[in-house]
Structure 1
Amino acid sequence: MQPTKSYAAYNDRDDLKPYQFNRREVGPKDVQIDILFCGVCHSDIHVVRNDWGFSSYPLVPGHEIVGRVRALGCDVTSLSIGELVGVGCMVDSCRECSACKEDLEQHCEKGMLMTYGSPDPHEADRITQGGYSTRIVVDRDFVVKVPESLDVKAVAPLLCAGITTYSPLRQWKVKPGDRVGVIGLGGLGHMGVKLAVAMGADVIMITSSAEKGEDARRLGASDVLVSTDEDAMARHANSFDLLLDTIPVAHRMDPYVRLLKFGKAMVVVGITPAEINTGVLSFGRRIITGSLIGGIRETQEMLDFCAEHNVVSDVELIAMQDINTAYERMMRADVKYRFVIDMQSLKED
C-alpha cells in the first residue's frame, strides 16, 4: 500500500481537513500518477455537502487531475515514466454494455465508476478517492495524454468543464458560421465560448448580467444578449443553431428555447431543476436535450483539439490549504473562472 496525503471531507458540515490514506499498489494494467494540479469543480461542493444524497466519508474530492506518470503496470506499453497525463470524472466502467462499446463510458448501463465517491472494487468497504491528493492509481484505459504544449495548470478543468462543453458541440456538429448561444458565463460557460469560437462558430453570450459583456468578448464572443431585456430577446428569436445551457440554478427555459431556429436544439449541461411550457417545443419542433461529460476517446480528442487551437481554462491557482476559502468564494461566484490546486503545496505541508 502507498501512503497518500490529501484533504478530505469528514462529514457534510465541517471544513475539509488533512487526511492520510493508502492508495492501492500498481497492478498489471495500472498507472500511478504524481498529481501536479487538480481543478476545483462545483460538483465537488455538491458531493462534499451531500446535496445529491449518496456521499460517504471520509471523502477526498477532485476529478480534474493532471500529473506525471510515476509507475506503470507490466501490461502498460502505451505510456512512459514521466509522461504528462490526466484523469477526469471516471476511472472505470463495465466495458461490456452498448454504451461502453460505443466509447460512451459516461453512460455505462451499469454505472460508471466515478473518480471519487463510488464503491471501490479494489478495496472492500471503501470508496474511490479523488485528486485533492498527492498521487492516484488508475486503470490505463481511463488515463488520457496531455499535450505538453498546453499550460499545465490551466489544463486540469478541461477534464470536466472542457469535455462537458466540447462533447455537445461535437455531438450537434457545430461548424464554421453556425450561430451558437452560450447561456451563463461561469466555469462551464467560459469554456463553451472558447471551444465554440475555436470551431468557427459565431458565439453569442447570453447572460442576465450586462456587466459580463466585456469579459465575454475577451473570451471570443461576438456579441452579448442580456436575457432580462425582453426587447432584445424578442429580436433574437428564431435565430440560433444551437444553445448551450450552463445555468447552475433553477430557471425557466421558455425564454431561451424561443431563440432557437426551427428544429434546432438547446443542450442542458447543468444538473439543476428547470421549468418549461412545452408549447415552445411543439411550435417550431425545437429540441431540449442533455449531455454528460464525454467518453475517454472523446476526452483525448478534446485535449488534442485544445492543443491545436491553444485553448485552456482561465484559472486562479490556489494552495491546498486554501480550499475551504475557495469553496466559499465559489458559492459567491467569486472566481474567473476555475480554481486549480497546486498540489506541491500539499506535498510540502
Structure 2
Amino acid sequence: MYWRSWVPKAPIIAAKKGNKVIMTPGNPLYFDAIPDKNSLMNVYHFNPIPAGLNKEQAANILGAQANSWTEYIPTTNRLEYMEYPRMLALAEVLWTAKTNDSSFMHRLNKQYVRMDKMHIHYRLPDIEGTLQNNAFLDSAVLNVYPPKEDLVIHYTTDEKTPELTDPVLDHPLVIKSDKVIKLAAFTPAGIRGDIYTCHYTKTTLSPAVMVKRNYTGMNVSYYAGQFKTVKGMDQKAVTQKWNQPDLSVDAQKATAGAFGLRYSGLITVPTSGIYTFYLTADDGAVLTIDNKTVVDNDGLHSAVEKNGQIALEKGHHFFKLDFIEGGGGYKLQLKYAGPGENTPQLVTADMLR
C-alpha cells in the first residue's frame, strides 16, 4: 500500500519489481483532510497508474483506496461530511478508468437526491464566485447563486454566523465600503453547508517600485526544523540560502523532514488593477506583496487553497512567500488572475525575474 506521497518513485519501483501495489496517497485520498472547493475534482481526476510503467508493470497496480482517520472526527454526521461526495468520485474513476466532468456532475446531482433520502450528511456543493479577501477601488459586487436548485443562501453583514432567519441572498450585493459578509447555503431540511467569510476592503493602487538589484528570480532562505506557523522562521537561524527562477521546492536542498522556506524578490504585473492570488499549501504559506498580507494560508494542514486580492500599479512590486512543511509530504502552488480575468494561471518565472 502506497501512501507516502513525498516518495513518488516508490510505487513505480515496487511495480517494476513485480510487487502488487494499492495506491492511497495522502493527497487526495486521505478523506480526513479538510475538503475545499478543489477536493472533489482532485479525487475525480486521480490516476492510480503512475507515469513510467509499461502495460505489464501497470498491471501490478491493483487499484486504490481512500482512508479516514477519525481521531479528529467526533460524529457520524461529520464522518459522512468528510467522505461524501468524494467517495462517489473515487468509485467512479476507479471503476471506469476515465473522466467526463460534465457527465459526472450531472449524475452527481441525482446522487444528491438519493443521499438526501438516505439521510446522508454529505458536504454540500461549493458556492462559486466568492473570495476570502476582496480589494476594490470604487465598489465591488457579490453575485452568487445556490449551487443546487433546492438550496437557499442566507447571509449576514455583522460578522455573525448565517442562520435561516437571516436575509436570503437572491440578488447582487453592491459593496462600497469596508465590510465582512458571511454566507452559507441551507437545505430544505435546514442543514447548513460551509460558511464563507468574504472580507471587502476599499483601497488604492499599490505603487510600482524602482529597485536596483544584482540578481533575478527568487532569493530563497531555507530553515531546517519544525514550525507551527511561518513566523517561527523569524526565531531561527537560516540553514542555507540560494537563488532560483521560480517558486518550486528544491527537494535536493530542502532535505529535512520538516522545514521552512522564504522566497523573496520582485513580481512584475503588466497592467494596473485588481489582482487575485490563489495559494495552495500543505502545510502552511503566507503571501505578502508590498509588505501587505494578500493570502494567509498559515498553519499545519493538508493541501487547501486560500485566496486574496490586491490593487497593483503596472510594474515591479516587492514579493515574499513564506512556506512551512511539517512532515508527511508537501505542496506549494501559487496562481493568479489579472484585472478582468476569471481563469487562474500559474505565477511563472517570467513574472519573478
Normalised by the length of structure 2, the TM-score is: 0.24
Which of structures 1 and 2 has the larger relative contact order (alpha carbons within 8 angstroms, sep 6+)?
A: 1
Which has the larger share of helix? 1
Q: TM-score, normalised by structure 1?
A: 0.24
